[in-house]
Structure 1
Amino acid sequence: MIIRPAYFGVRPAMMAIAPSFTALYQPTLPLPESLRGSVVAIGNFDGMHRGHQAVLEDAVQEARASGLKAVMLTFEPHPRTVFRPEAPVFRLTPHAEKAHIARAIGLDAMVSLAFTPEFSSQSPDRFIEDMLLGAFGAHNVISGYDFHFGKDRAGTPDYLRAQGLARGFGVTIVDMRADRSGDAVSSTRIRQALEDGALNPANQLLGYRHFLTGTVVHGEKNGRKLGYPTANMKLPLNSRLCEGVYAVKLVRQDGSLHNGVASFGRRPMFDNGPRVFEVHIFDFNEDLYGEEVRVALYGYLRGEARFDNLDGLIAQMDQDSAQARGILSHSKPLSELEERLWG
């Protein structure tokens, strides 16, 4: 059993991306035989932030050293959403985003289990017996210092260590990852920062620019009339991203990267309707309708506003575009992981 501390800014060199990657969503048992005997990193991992990366990088390193596969075991939907459906969690990295980051980190597979009230009611012992040993035949299990599992969260890191000793599998507990102020890197802090429009602090905690994934849909074409055609995406209803204007980079399925400026809100100059995320891509005139894209947020420019007339709105959009171009032209990757995500 190993307790390994991890501190902000101190991290091992990233391992090579696995030649193949498997992402399973709510799989039925048994799992593919190829995943048995793996090093299993377990957690909710919403955010895939620097603290989570410490756990996952440990799994990759231990797996490579042992000639095994590294697997990330997580849960969908987020447990807090199951326990409090009236107040669903503002998700930072749903399944698709988690898988994209997991592959960039170097994991071989990601398994997302269906988290239900029935699943949450099982004992920690049964979870270990049925899942970690039965389904995975885990060689080693790695978790963060604050991960709990099983009914009433009775499965603690200490319990997991004791079970590893008794049942013959290795256990690594990765200690808290802190920022330079000494505060823990956490999904809660990142969610609050994104809600407040504090994008730079959120991105620093993540270790990469926060990004959104969605399919481009038809909108009202108001931007086109103003000389600013947009690619529109609908964000999940539980998104609490701060409304306003952002400097962004859009990534297409072919891997091409495009600079732009985005607005998220209710379009107070037009219909003040449901919130829509609209991206204007600089120097671009191709059709994106129906294409799934990722949009990375590089800078928060201002809040949403209403202007006296359309000329005032267009003048502000011109300023927003110039500011976004300036931010994007001077941007550098926040980490090796970010280079892999968009490279």
Structure 2
Amino acid sequence: MSIIFDYKNVPEAQRGASVALGNFDGVHAGHRAVIDLAKQVSDARGVPLAALIFEPPPRRYFQPDSPPFRIMRPEQRREALKTIGVDIVYELPFNKELASMSPRAFVEQVLVKGLGLAHLAVGFDFRFGKGREGDTDTLRQLGEEFGFTVSVMDAVKADSEKISSTAIRTYLQEGQPEHAAHLLGHYWTADGVVEQGEQRGRTISFPTANLRIGNLIQPMFGVYAVWAKVEGDDVWRPGVANFGRTPTTGEREPLLEVHFFDFDQDIYGKHLDVAFVHFLRAEKKFDSFEALTTQIATDASDARERLGSAPQKELPAVIADFL
């Protein structure tokens, strides 16, 4: 898969694609439906399949101080797009130049002269151009003028609920990772590099791998049953994790602490992927470290009962009967 960061210098081999345009944060079923529309044209015409994304997202550009909201890091998103067969990712910097373009200028300068696209697929609620002046009707009109075709995907639903990144974020913030997974089609996964912690867990036989999730959306503070994969390992391991400020031992910046079942290796400095499966309980302040220790044992037992203890070669499928 090719990644292009500048629409003004696109190699000839990466021009003329059937392009799906969107933020694709999460690469959920709705996003994949838009990409499938572009793929139909790609297959029929024998042209590359591409995804066009702005980085940073326009929301971050216009609201730089807003809380973290990403469902996926750019690296995770690229890998997900590659997995579903995208040939080219146009990951264009969203800056003052792009933000000030009229709908017509964007189509002419970026899509036509820059990418030389053959086809464009978008979602039904797509807006573009300065002040979000352009919509799907605008795209169709400009497509006719500039010689590319346009397809528009209707809303995609799961059990009558519209699938959207906004709904997924809400579920994660409300402590409902099962519902988020239902809309994503896979478990939401946070990642980071394992860092040195306070090592209190080792004193009670519950060592944890600690990591910060950076600019990913922060799920509800609390305890989760998780699957986790260590860099260089070839299996997903079940475990229990706490995300929060650990009020019992002294509040600090939010940290994800993961305890693997039946695992004892030094993984400091390694990258860790953590898939959130079940929400077990909200974070709380305990009266003593002993009370916290008792609860941790209960949490681990609960998570083990839900997930089992055996590592898996592939991340298990989303459980569909939680609703």
In the alignment, which of 242, 264, 267 is matched to residue 246 of structure 2?
A: 267
- Contact 2:240–2:300 (CA under 8 A) maintained in structure 1: yes
Alpha-carbon distance between aligned partners in 2 of 1:179 and 1:169, rounded to the nearest angstrom: 32
- Displacement after TM superposition at 1:218 (Å): 1.4
In the alignment, which of 281, 291, 294 is matched to residue 273 of structure 2?
A: 294
Deviations 1:197-221 (A, max 9, x none): 0211111111111111211111111
- Contact 1:249–1:259 (CA under 8 A) maintained in structure 2: yes
Deviations 1:6-41 (A, max 9, x none): xxxxxxxxxxxxxxx2344x4463123321111111
- Displacement after TM superposition at 1:232 (Å): 1.1
Partner of 1:187 in structure 2?
165
Q: What is the aligned-residue identity percentage? A: 37
In the alignment, which of 179, 198, 206 is matched to residue 228 of structure 1?
A: 206
Partner of 1:22 in structure 2?
2
Q: Could you say what the CA RMSD is over the residues aligned between the two structures, in angstroms?
A: 2.0
1:53 aligns with 2:32: yes
Partner of 1:224, secondary structure, is helix
- Displacement after TM superposition at 1:332 (Å): 4.5
Q: Which portions of structure 1, spanning 4 or more consecutive aligned residues, are displaced by more than 4 angstroms?
A: none
- Contact 1:298–1:327 (CA under 8 A) maintained in structure 2: no
Partner of 2:70 in structure 1?
91
Partner of 2:318 in structure 1?
334
- Contact 2:223–2:279 (CA under 8 A) maintained in structure 1: yes
1:160 aligns with 2:139: yes
- Displacement after TM superposition at 1:193 (Å): 1.1
Partner of 1:202 in structure 2?
180
- Displacement after TM superposition at 1:222 (Å): 1.6
Cα distance change, pair 314–207 in 1 and its aligned pair in 2 (3 A): same
Cα distance change, pair 85–134 in 1 and its aligned pair in 2 (3 A): same
- Contact 2:239–2:261 (CA under 8 A) maintained in structure 1: yes
Partner of 1:112, secondary structure, is strand
Task: Give aligned pairs, total.
Answer: 313
In the alignment, which of 237, 240, 249 is matched to residue 227 of structure 2?
A: 249
Give the counterpart letter for 1:133 in structure 2: V
Alpha-carbon distance between aligned partners in 2 of 1:329 and 1:43, rounded to the nearest angstrom: 38
Deviations 1:58-91 (A, max 9, x none): 2234323332211111111221222122324511
In the alignment, which of 283, 297, 301 is matched to residue 262 of structure 2?
A: 283
TM-score by length of 1: 0.85
1:303 aligns with 2:282: yes
- Contact 1:193–1:201 (CA under 8 A) maintained in structure 2: yes
- Contact 1:80–1:88 (CA under 8 A) maintained in structure 2: no
Partner of 1:213 in structure 2?
191
Partner of 1:267, secondary structure, is coil
- Contact 1:88–1:238 (CA under 8 A) maintained in structure 2: no
Partner of 1:177 in structure 2?
156
Alpha-carbon distance between aligned partners in 1 of 2:253 and 2:67, rounded to the nearest angstrom: 18
Cα distance change, pair 230–27 in 1 and its aligned pair in 2 (3 A): farther
Cα distance change, pair 28–293 in 1 and its aligned pair in 2 (3 A): farther
Cα distance change, pair 89–125 in 1 and its aligned pair in 2 (3 A): farther
Quick check: 183-192 or 271-280, which moved more? 183-192
Unaligned runs of 5+ in 2: 310-314
Give the counterpart letter for 1:97 in structure 2: Q
1:315 aligns with 2:294: yes
In the alignment, which of 207, 222, 237 is matched to residue 258 of structure 1?
A: 237
- Contact 2:72–2:216 (CA under 8 A) maintained in structure 1: no
Cα distance change, pair 161–56 in 1 and its aligned pair in 2 (3 A): same
Deviations 1:129-171 (A, max 9, x none): 2221122211111111111111111221111111112221121
Give the counterpart letter for 1:194 in structure 2: L
